[in-house]
Amino acid sequence: MRIIDVLFSQGFGTRRECAGLIAHGQVSVGGVTLDDPAAPVSAPGLQFKVQGVVWPYWPKALILLHKPAGYECSRKPKHHPSVLNLLPHPLRLRGMQPIGRLDEDTTGLLLLTDSGPLIHRLTSPKHHVAKVYEVGTKHPVDETQLQRLRDGVVLDDDPAPVRAAAAERTGDCALALTLTEGKYHQVKRMLAAVGNRVETLHRSRFGEWALSAELAPGQWRWLDAPPGC
């Protein structure tokens, strides 16, 4: 690939803007500053610098964000800032989208990508991708509530029972809930159906990815996208 095509594909602006970065000596590969937009580079495994910042080349990007409270998972937020504001400008220009949504008051693991096939793979109900939520409740959690969550509860917009793949008490007013579906406000509505109320909600795992304690709220990291995405 030409270096200008790499910059353009990675969200560094229009081709004219990318050419300007190169012309002003702002782009380097392997410690060598490039001044020719047509300079060839090998894309697989490529790392390059733009204005002193190291970037890896990804045909399709996948990142894990530790979502703080007070952000909406939307490109057009209504009441709070978008989680996309937490990403650097090139990633926002790439058209990154959240894979599923977390409410503005929900924290934890959020995946974002610009790969349509990956979004479909991880959100399609037929794939049953597990998501783990750490729930703080208003009232004490007992085994009767946990069993009802495992057996299935009926929500007001669907006669079919919605079941938790796992439900485990983690404290007097706390539980870990594993879901393989993604309905609107599902955790809050399921807890309401068994006579309790969600006070805090945090997603700690999504499929094969877990949220590391080293990643602070608002921080993000690159992930390897599954094959075919």
Residue position matching structure tokens 């349509």: 116
H/E stretch holding 210 reads strand 209-210
Give the span between the Cα atoms of 89 and 86, in whole angstroms: 9
Whole-number CA gyration radius for the chain: 21
Catalytic: 156? no
Question: Counting runs of H as helices and runs of E as strands, what totals does the chain give?
Answer: 6, 15
What tokens were used for 116?
A: 């349509």
Give the span between the Cα atoms of 103 and 194, in whole angstroms: 21
Enumerate the H helices of 159-209 as residue ranges: 186-193
Q: Which residues of 17-53 are buried (b: 16+ CB within 10 A; e: fewer)?
A: ebbebbeeebbbbeeeebeebebeeeeeebebbbeee
Q: Which of 36, 103, 114, 157 is catalytic?
A: 103
Closest among 120, 130, 199 to 164, alpha carbons compared: 130
SS3 assignment for 63-81: EEEEECCCCECCCCCCCCC
Distance set, CA 159 to CA 81, 139, 154, 195, 218 (Å): 35, 26, 6, 18, 38
Which residues are catalytically annotated? Answer: 103
